[in-house]
A and B are shown apart, each in its own frame.
Chain A
Amino acid sequence: MKNEDIVICRCSDVTLADLYELFEQGYDNFEELKRIARVGMGPCQGNTCAKMIQWEIAKYFDRPLEACAIKNIRPFTMGVKLQAIKEAAEDED
């Protein structure tokens, strides 16, 4: 299978070929890749791509896996509608 056909980040449609191109430009960690390619910023919040990207960074730059930091975990763990948050807040008030 060609690297152009291997989708790493489904939310932001980033392929393995895209990733290699960014590695070549010098982006060698998840946080920078996230900012440039939007990996980990979509609805799944990196739950699909983060591990794969960690592996690819380790392989490409020949680093131990544990030396490749994974994404910063931020709330939420799953999407919640603004309306639901509003109603819950009003219930409390």
Chain B
Amino acid sequence: MRTRADYVIVGGGISGAAIAYNLAKKGETDIVVIEKSYMTAGATGRCGAGVRQQWGTKMNCTIAKMAIEFFENAEEILDYDGDIEFKQRGYLVVASNKDEDEQFAKNVALQNSLGIPTKHLTPKQAQDIVPHLNTENMTSATFCATDGHLNPFTMTDAYYKAARRLGVKIHTGTSVEDIVVENGRVQAVVTDKGTIKTDVVINAAGGYAKQIGEMAGIDIPVFSQNREILVTEPVEPFQDPMVISFSKNIYCQQVPHGAFIMGRGDDREPGLSTESTWRFLDEMAKTAVGLLPPLGELRVIRQWGGLYNMSPDRQPIISGTDEVQGFYMACGFSGHGFMFAPMTGLLLSELILGEETTVPMDELALSRFDGKDLEAYETSVV
């Protein structure tokens, strides 16, 4: 175990991996990543493996589009010998009432203005893309052909392998127990395997971001919530895009190896539990078979839960803080940290090194919540 490092990153999910890689690529290679379990054990490895650009805020659209452009070339950029399984077969977003349809019209106009090729479709046009879609009670749909599937495990693995080649050290099976702050500056990170002196700590702890913030005396306005998901047996390919609906509360895609994975976001108490429940299974089965009837014939083989780390406005917090010098965070992704990771890594590394950032980061700063009671204004969340 190292006793000193220029940077200590807390969390071995894709955000931590992308931040480590981006800092190392800029020449800052004295980095230690601390992960209490193993690579992608938290939210990254539990996510729905989808990446989309269809958002309702300019910031989310902008960073999602740039992330997709990275994924298109990720294997080459990271010199990865595995397969990240990036398949751009689109996301079909279904509207089931007039309000949703009107919101989607605005979303499509915003997305198109930013160069995202989303189309607003009739139910019939949606059915041309997904023939087994039940269009009963469906108002319209939107479709973006460049959204798609990405393997969370291999994508993260690709980042970590590239980071390791640049000298980054990764300690799995190691828990962070405290962060030492003196005179308003980060001094050290205390782990169960020893203390690492450092000037910079980066909180990329996903579902545990609030707890890591508290160790440094920073109150981050996020909370975690269990979101459940299930997977079926693999079958021959018959559904190209991810199908999602905010009002019906479902996302569902057939992944490259043939299984369908689907999830939904029941409103439940904040907490750190990732339990699997019957309630989810019942509601998921009714929703999925209702919207995509042939899926009724598929056998569910596994279910699990993972943590969304929710921010007040459902946009990420990629930021430093005036209260503690040297403390940075990438959290509050509200279920979309996997999709945004390339930008998380790029933007946070630029911020830490005092470079001009690729996009203005005011809307991602922790200080945006100061004294304000921000309403959730990103509504495109399942």
Partners in one complex: yes
Contact of B40 with A35 in the complex, beta carbons under 8 Å: yes
Within 8 A of A (CB), among B254-275: 257
For the complex, is A2 an interface residue (Cβ under 8 Å from B)? no
Contact partner of A85 (CB less than 8 A), chosen from B39, B257, B300, B301, is B300
Partner of B302, one of A74, A82, A85: A74
Q: Mark B219-236, 1 if CB is under 8 A from A, else 0.
A: 000000000000111100
Number of A-B contacts (CB under 8 A): 82
A79 near B299: Cβ-Cβ < 8 Å: yes
For chain B, the bracket of interface size reads: 20 to 34
Nearest CB of B to A43, in Å: 5
Q: Is the CB of B301 within 8 A of A43?
A: yes
- The answer to whether B41 and A31 touch across the interface, beta carbons within 8 angstroms, is yes
Determine if B302 and A75 form an interchain contact, defined as CB atoms under 8 angstroms apart. Answer: yes
Q: Is A4 an interface residue (CB 8 A)?
A: no
A35 x B45 contact (CB < 8 A):
yes
Could you tell me the distance between the alpha carbons of A79 and B289 in the complex, rounded to whole angstroms? Answer: 16
Q: Does B369 contact A (CB under 8 A)?
A: no
Shortest beta-carbon distance, B102 to chain A, in Å? 31
| Interface residue tally for chain A (C-beta within 8 Å) | 25
Q: Find residues 71-93 in chain A having any chain B CB closer than 8 Å to their own CB.
A: 74-76, 79-83, 85-86, 88-90, 92
Residues of B contacting A35 with CB < 8 Å?
39-40, 45, 153, 157
Query: Contact between A74 and B41 (Cβ–Cβ < 8 Å)?
Result: no
Would you call A45 an interface residue if the criterion is a C-beta within 8 Å of the partner chain's C-beta atoms? yes
Q: Render A13-32 as a binary contact track against B, CB cut-off 8 A, 1 for contact.
A: 00000000000000001011
Given contacts A38-B257, A45-B301, contact A85 B281 (CB under 8 A): yes
CB contacts (< 8 Å) of A36 on chain B: these are 82, 153-154, 157
Residue of B38, B276, B299 most packed against chain A (CB within 10 A): B299
**B286: nearest chain-A partner, CB-CB:** A86
Taking the complex as formed, is A41 at the interface, i.e. its CB lies under 8 A from any CB of chain B? yes
**Nearest B residue to A12, CB-CB:** B257
User: Which listed residue (B40, B153, B296) contacts A82, Cβ 8 A?
Assistant: B296
A89 in contact with B285 given A35-B45, A82-B298 (CB within 8 Å): yes
**A74: min CB distance to chain B, Å:** 5
Over the window 46-85 of chain A, the binary record of Cβ atoms lying under 8 Å from chain B Cβ atoms (1 yes, 0 no) is 0000000000000000000000000000111001111101
Closest partner residue, chain A, to B282 (CB atom):
A89
CB-contact partner of A81 in B45, B231, B299, under 8 A: B299
Q: Which of B168-196 contact A (CB under 8 A)?
A: none
Tell me whether A76 and B301 are in contact (CB under 8 A): yes
Q: Can you name the residue of chain A whose Cβ is closest to the Cβ of B278?
A: A89
State the B residues within 8 Å of A (CB). Answer: 37-41, 45, 82, 153-154, 157, 231-234, 257, 276, 281-283, 285-286, 288-289, 295-304
**Assuming A81-B300, A82-B285, A90-B286, what are 9 further A-B pairs, CB within 8 angstroms?**
A31-B37, A35-B40, A36-B82, A74-B276, A76-B301, A79-B301, A82-B289, A86-B289, A89-B286
CB-CB nearest 7 A-B residue pairs: A79-B299, A83-B296, A89-B282, A85-B285, A35-B153, A86-B285, A82-B285
Q: List 25 A-B contacts (CB under 8 A).
A: A31-B37, A35-B40, A43-B233, A43-B234, A43-B299, A43-B301, A45-B302, A74-B304, A75-B276, A75-B303, A76-B301, A79-B232, A79-B233, A79-B299, A79-B300, A81-B298, A82-B232, A82-B285, A82-B295, A82-B297, A83-B285, A85-B282, A86-B285, A89-B286, A92-B282
